[in-house]
């Protein structure tokens, strides 16, 4: 519990206290070096992240959104192309597709996992489809075998949106290493978070990596020899140095989240009116969010009562992306996505969350459901 007696959605204070000296040393190392853009810290983090993820290349960029944009462009996606995306995700997934000049085509979810459903992807394929952009939502892997088979049969590329799932696995492989490219975000609240913005592209493809490296530095492989219109999108050296400290702890933190999720599952087993998250056996869910479902229209009232009791919760996502103003005119109807957005409720979770704090959340939830 925080000092105010309230339970936040996420408590990063435990982590920073534990790593204070190491983080300070890393920051000072960068300040003393005078190398703030690219350089050894960025290279070091890229090497360590590539090794952790089991990929040939990791390319640091300025944000998760830029990682998606640059990965799509590096794979040659652009104007006239269609990219199949879920609508039950953060706006940036679809926004990145629009930013490269392509059209996001929305597919519905599996209501159990909230992840884009392979059958719904297949229905959306046209002669213009070039890519599938699945999102490992809340830290849970999408069905990558099915998605890869669909991509192979239809000659599509796959870009994984791994913003919420650093360290997550599918059949023993790290998420972000299975598609043609994986796009990660280091937004501070993500499982691996920087102390500012940051992102990363993971790929085994040498050409994609080379294109991504070129695009992040104004389309130049060699300074002042710009070949194409790119971006100013580097991973900040300070953030890279901080991320190197934090990367060493990601497995332990994800295990902490998994343990907290297990405890929630036990505590909520006898609470009627909420459905706990589904977890398939062949994946390693890293619980970026612990999201329950409140049926029968009670979600908003439950959330309000929890807020009155000092328990922070969030709704990810209250408006499906296909119904947001920029995309609403396309007229999609996605029943499973629309139902989920009215029923999901994400409870507080962080790696070091204590059982006693979880008990308070569950007690308050039980009261709120009455
Ligand atoms: C956070 C997030 C992004 C964007 O990452 P930024 O680093 O904030 O740009 C993209 N997709 C999903 C699913 C996210 O959760």
Q: Pick from 62, 65, 99 the residue to mutate for probing ligand 1's pocket: most ligand atoms within 8 Å of its CB.
A: 65
CA of 232 to the centre of ligand 1 (A): 18
Q: Give the active site residue among 190, 222, 223, 370.
A: 190
CA of 193 to the centre of ligand 1 (A): 11
pTM for this predicted structure: 0.97
The yes or no reply on domain 13-247 and CATH 1.10.150.20 is no
From 10, 68, 87, 92, give the residue whose CB has the most ligand 1 atoms within 8 Å, as the site to mutate. 92
| Separation between Cα atoms, residue 124 and residue 80, nearest integer Å | 16
Between the CA of 296 and the centroid of ligand 1 the distance, in Å, is 30
Q: Does domain 250-369 have CATH number 3.40.50.300?
A: no
CA of 158 to the centre of ligand 1 (A): 17
Share above pLDDT 70 across residues of the chain, in percent, rounded to a whole number: 99
* Measured distance CA(362)–CA(213) in Å, rounded: 47
Beta 283-284 vs 181-185: how paired, if at all? unpaired
190 is catalytic: yes
pLDDT of 152: 98
pLDDT tens for each residue of 178-224: 999 999 999 999 999 999 999 999 999 999 999 999 999 999 999 99
Ligand 1 pocket at CB < 6 A: 63-65, 89-90, 92-93, 135, 161, 163-164, 185, 187, 197, 199
Nearest residue CA, atom 2 of ligand 1? 163
Q: What are 53-62's pLDDT values in tens digits?
A: 999 999 999 9
Q: In the chain, where are the structural domains located?
A: 13-247, 250-369
DSSP per residue over 69-126, as a string? HHHHHHTT--TT-EEEEESSS-THHHHHHHHTT-EEEEEPBPTTT-SBPHHHHHHT--
Question: Residue 3's pLDDT is what?
Answer: 47
pLDDT value for 4: 55
């Amino acid at each position: 519990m925080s000092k105010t007696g309230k339970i936040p959605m996420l408590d990063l204070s435990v982590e920073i206290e534990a790593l204070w000296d190491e983080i300070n040393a890393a920051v000072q190392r960068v300040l003393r070096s005078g190398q703030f853009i690219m350089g050894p810290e960025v290279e070091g983090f890229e090497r360590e992240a590539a090794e952790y993820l089991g990929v040939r290349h990791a390319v640091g960029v300025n944000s998760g959104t830029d990682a998606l944009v640059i990965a799509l462009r590096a794979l040659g996606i652009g104007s006239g192309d269609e990219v199949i995306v879920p609508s039950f995700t953060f706006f940036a997934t679809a926004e990145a597709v629009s930013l490269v000049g392509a059209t996001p085509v929305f597919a519905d979810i599996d209501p159990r996992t909230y992840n884009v459903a392979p059958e719904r992807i297949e229905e959306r394929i046209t002669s213009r489809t070039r890519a599938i952009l699945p999102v490992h939502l809340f830290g849970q892997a999408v069905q990558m075998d099915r998605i890869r088979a669909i991509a192979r049969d239809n000659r599509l590329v796959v870009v994984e949106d791994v913003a919420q799932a650093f360290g997550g696995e599918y059949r023993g492989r790290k998420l972000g290493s299975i598609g043609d490219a994986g796009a990660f975000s280091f937004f501070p609240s993500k499982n691996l978070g920087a102390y500012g913005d940051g992102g990363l592209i993971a790929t085994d493809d040498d050409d994609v990596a080379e294109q991504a490296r070129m695009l992040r530095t104004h389309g130049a492989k060699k300074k002042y020899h710009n070949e194409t219109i790119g971006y100013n999108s580097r991973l900040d050296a300070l953030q890279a140095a901080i991320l190197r400290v934090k990367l060493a702890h990601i497995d332990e933190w994800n295990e902490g989240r998994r343990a907290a999720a297990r405890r929630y599952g036990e505590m909520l087993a006898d609470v009627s009116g909420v459905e706990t998250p589904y977890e398939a056996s062949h994946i390693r869910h890293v619980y970026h969010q612990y999201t329950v479902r409140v049926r029968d229209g009670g979600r908003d009232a439950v959330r309000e009562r929890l807020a009155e009791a000092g328990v922070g919760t969030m709704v990810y996502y209250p408006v499906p992306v296909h119904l947001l103003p920029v995309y609403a005119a396309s007229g999609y109807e996605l029943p499973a996505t629309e139902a989920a957005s009215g029923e999901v409720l994400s409870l507080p979770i962080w790696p070091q969350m204590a059982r006693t704090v979880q008990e308070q959340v569950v007690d308050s939830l039980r009261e709120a459901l009455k």
